[in-house]
Amino acid sequence: MSLQFNPRDITWLAFNERVLQEAMDEKVPLHLRIRFLGIFSNNLDEFFRVRVAGLKRAMDFKEKVIAESFYQAPSKILQRINDIVIHQQQNFDKTWKKIQAEMADQRVFIKSPKSLTPVQKEFVSKYFDEVIESNVIPILLHENTPMPYLRDKSLYIGVAMSKKDWQYASNYAIIEIPSRFVGRFLLLPTEDPKEKNVMLLEDIITFNLPHIFSYFGYDEFSAHAFKVTKDAELDLDNDIRTNFAEKIEKGLKNRRKGKPTRFVFDKDMDKALLELLIRKLNLTKKDSIIPGGKIHNFKHFMDFPDVFDDYKRPVERTSFTHPAFEHGERVTDVILKNDVLLTFPYHKYNSVIDLLREAAMDPDVKSIQITAYRLASSSKIINALIYAARNGKEVTVMLELQARFDEESNLEWKEMLEPEGIRVLIGIPNKKVHAKLCVIKKRAHNKTLQYGFVSTGNFNEKTARVYGDHLLMTSDRGVMADINKVFSVLKKPKDDFMPVLKTCKNLLVCPQFMREKFIHHIDREIEEAKAGRKAEMIIKVNSLSDRGMILKIYDAAKAGVLVKMIVRGIYCAVNHKDFKEKIDAISIVDEYLEHARVMYFYSKGVEDMYISSADWMTRNLDNRIEAAIKITDKDLKKEMKDILDIQLRDNVKARILNKKLDNEYVRNNKKQCRSQIEIYKYLKAKTDPE
């Protein structure tokens, strides 16, 4: 059999197409459809910053050498990417046009400079004078002057200016839209209180162009939006005289100089200005030069103003307290007696915050150790840890300074935590710390007690409201011992830290050992299938791209193991003719982001269940510190299996993952199952069984 794989980057674009499908679905509430457009846009920006930039770097080497890493030559993948993205952009523009028509039906309008009423014109002029003008700095463009530095995440308008009686060519300028400082949206006054008018910041600036350039006497203006996406790879130098944090800071400064990977512009832009920008940015036909609609940097639309009156949040979207914590008992006391499994965003995240606050105030608690990858901007986790340090606890925080696009934030957290007496760890060179771990130690009645939690997702109370994740609270002595071993490695990183991690008995850790254990599980299922006995595995991850794990899954399918997969994003596996059992793979894209990693193996009826921080990608399994934990409590194991079964029954929001990557919805004659709603009902019933 000639083994085949779908290229990683093409499957990622198929995932983003599923996000766009949600925006296109007229059954989805209007404000959520706008949000999905914002998510689609933001996803695509990051894709070009990282993946397209990586492919372009790879083209500098011999393509045959690196084609295996991408499953296809980078030049071919880049061409496919460009074709797919242009097609998706067309669908995006059609969808946005349709949504605007539906907004008009609800009397919500995005106002252009030409459509303002006299009262609104006065309001916009005053708002510009008082709020915006000080943040607007036009830069004139000339053929013989260098291109000014353009920010990667910023939106710009290109302005062509002329005079009616002028025989000369237009002059040109660019203006950065200062949305970071004043926001992207402005609600305008209306005569009809039932009508909502929203104006975009770039249109406010466009309206005020005669005022901005009044010194030059121009009376004709043409302004259109554009943005540049740059290579976001963080190049770290090898200067032994600088510490790791300083290298990150230097890398962030150098990132600004990254090469453009995409140029997106309003297709109605002045042609001469467009050509000037392309020349000054040194773009060629090999680069992604993508014409689009009027609005760019659509990521801001994830926070579009709440102007829709007819939407009532369904009860199934309201988080609730886990039943274990409903009776007023301290979280600490509960988990010292029993394991508790939290499933977000169905369960409230408060219980995690409460546990850390209790530890901060408990005079018997001696230390807290926790990993942090992506934190909320006003992190309650960090606040609790600071209070703990002020109360005399020994607090250790592993801050991953290489968390992509959170590097700057994590450097700021480091600067905040260290003066509070908190020990900040910054990881192991060339190994990101992605494990989600916490251990709390207390001394009471001449006994040492340890408890904490292991999670599939970040310790971030904001994303926990929209990310589907699992977090196990436990006081299991073996688990706590293993978490302490991980922190011992992080505190004193050595060149050879593997022997320490190898001694972990209750956590599966990366690099290496998690891969070995899961391969062992798959091999056992293969043996059972070959013996004619029941063999089954369910793998739920965000991404599947590791060649070794895919080949092992292929072995299982060939042997007759029942393989079921739930993969939100990248999915490089495909079915083949000689599989005894076809791989049943789906992707669920709904209001919540499916983020949990769960592994289930039938294991001769014993049923082994794990939750993990690691996707099945080479970077996770071989190049990061990751952790998975086995669910041993019988009731919790059943709960996890029930949740997986609900997701596998989804025939509303599930798409079939196949070789064609056509995102066909799962449709059958079975009872309708929208898994995120059904999981809510299932978990909510446990709080009130009657």
Q: Which domains does the chain have, with CATH numbers?
A: 8-303 (3.30.1840.10), 316-505 (3.30.870.10), 509-687 (3.30.870.10)
**What mean pLDDT comes out for the span 127-132?**
96
Q: Which two tokens stand for residue 603?
A: 């294991």
pLDDT average, residue stretch 143-162: 87
Q: Which of 143-157, 254-268, 403-417 has the lowest mean pLDDT?
A: 254-268
| Lowest mean pLDDT across 142-151, 221-230, 522-531, 557-566 | 142-151
Q: What's the first-to-final CA gap in the chain, in angstroms?
A: 55
Answer whether residue 256 shows pLDDT above 90.
Answer: no
For residue 427, what pLDDT is reported? 80
Mean pLDDT of 350-360: 98
Q: What is the pLDDT of residues 465-478, one digit of tens each?
A: 999 999 999 999 99
pLDDT at 209 over 70: yes
> For residue 622, what are its two tokens?
């071989």
More confident residue, 361 or 297: 361
**Cα–Cα distance for residue pair 556/561, rounded to 1 Å:** 5
Q: For residues 98 and 245, which has the higher predicted lDDT (pLDDT)?
A: 98
Q: How many CB atoms lie within 10 A of CB 388?
A: 24
Q: What is the pLDDT of residue 65?
A: 46
Q: How confident is the model at residue 424, as a pLDDT?
A: 94
Lowest mean pLDDT among 31-35, 407-411, 433-437: 407-411
pLDDT band at 230 (very low <50, low <70, confident <90, very high): confident
Least confident of 225-229, 485-489, 581-585, 650-654: 225-229
Structure tokens at 481: 């011992």
Q: Span 1-28, mean pLDDT?
A: 89
Counting Cα atoms < 13 Å in the Cβ hemisphere of 591 gives 20
At 288, list the tokens.
């992604």
Average pLDDT over residues 612-637: 96
Residue 1: what pLDDT?
37
The pLDDT score that the predictor gives to residue 74 is 83
Q: How confident is the model at residue 690 (pLDDT cuts 50, 70, 90)?
A: low
258 or 136: which carries more pLDDT confidence? 136
pLDDT, residue 582, reads 96
423 or 406, greater pLDDT = 423
Q: What is the reported pLDDT for 275?
A: 92
Q: 253-257, 296-300, 321-325 — which is least confidently predicted?
A: 253-257
Whether residue 69 is predicted with pLDDT greater than 60 in this model: the reply is no
Residue 571 predicted with pLDDT over 50: yes
Peptide bond just before 7 cis, omega within 30 deg: no
* pLDDT greater than 90 at residue 72: no
Structure tokens at 33: 């459809």
Query: If you average pLDDT over residues 309-326, what whole number do you get?
Result: 85
Q: What is the mean pLDDT of the chain?
A: 90
The per-residue pLDDT for 143 is 82
Give the pLDDT confidence score for residue 467 in this predicted structure.
Answer: 97
Task: Put residue 363 in one of left, alpha, beta given phi > 0 → left and psi -120 to 50 → alpha.
Answer: alpha
Question: What pLDDT is attached to residue 260?
Answer: 75
Confidence of residue 62 (pLDDT cuts 50, 70, 90): low
Neighbours of 134 (CB within 10 A): 11
* Amino acid (one-letter) located at 528: E
Give me the pLDDT at residue 151, please.
83
Amino acid 245: pLDDT? 57
472 φ, ψ (degrees, to nearest 5): -100, 120
Whether pLDDT at 240 is above 50: no
Tokens representing 228?
């540049």
Closest-CA residue to 453 (of 374, 375, 341) = 341
**Distance separating alpha carbons of residues 334 and 325, to the nearest angstrom:** 8
pLDDT, tens digit, for every residue of 105-121?
A: 999 999 999 999 999 99
Q: Is the pLDDT of residue 576 over 50?
A: yes
β 536-541/608-612 pair status: unpaired
Mean pLDDT on 638-653: 98
Whole-model pTM above 0.85? yes
Q: Are 87 and 10 in contact (CB under 8 A)?
A: no
Percent of residues, the chain, with pLDDT higher than 70: 92
For a pLDDT cut of 90, what percent of the chain falls above it?
Answer: 72
User: Is the per-residue pLDDT at 541 higher than 60?
Assistant: yes
pLDDT-based confidence at residue 238 (cuts at 50, 70, 90): very low
Predicted local distance difference test score (pLDDT) of residue 233: 63
Contact of 604 with 610, CB cutoff 8 Å? no
Overall average pLDDT of the 361-381 stretch: 95
**What average pLDDT score do residues 641-657 get?**
98
Q: Write down the pLDDT at residue 478.
A: 97
Kindly tell me the sign of the dihedral angle through the C-alpha atoms of 352, 356, 362, 366. Answer: positive
Where residue 409 falls among pLDDT bands split at 50, 70, 90?
A: confident
pLDDT at 579 over 90: yes
- Is residue 434 flagged as an active site residue? yes
Q: What is the mean pLDDT of residues 624-648?
A: 97
List 31, 224, 347, 434, catalytic entry: 434
pLDDT at 241 over 50: no
Q: What is the DSSP string of 178-207?
A: -HHHH-SEEEEP-SSTT-EEEEEHHHHHHH
Residue 311: HSE in the Cβ half-sphere, 13 Å Cα cutoff? 14
Q: Residue 237 above 50 pLDDT?
A: no
599: pLDDT strictly greater than 70? yes
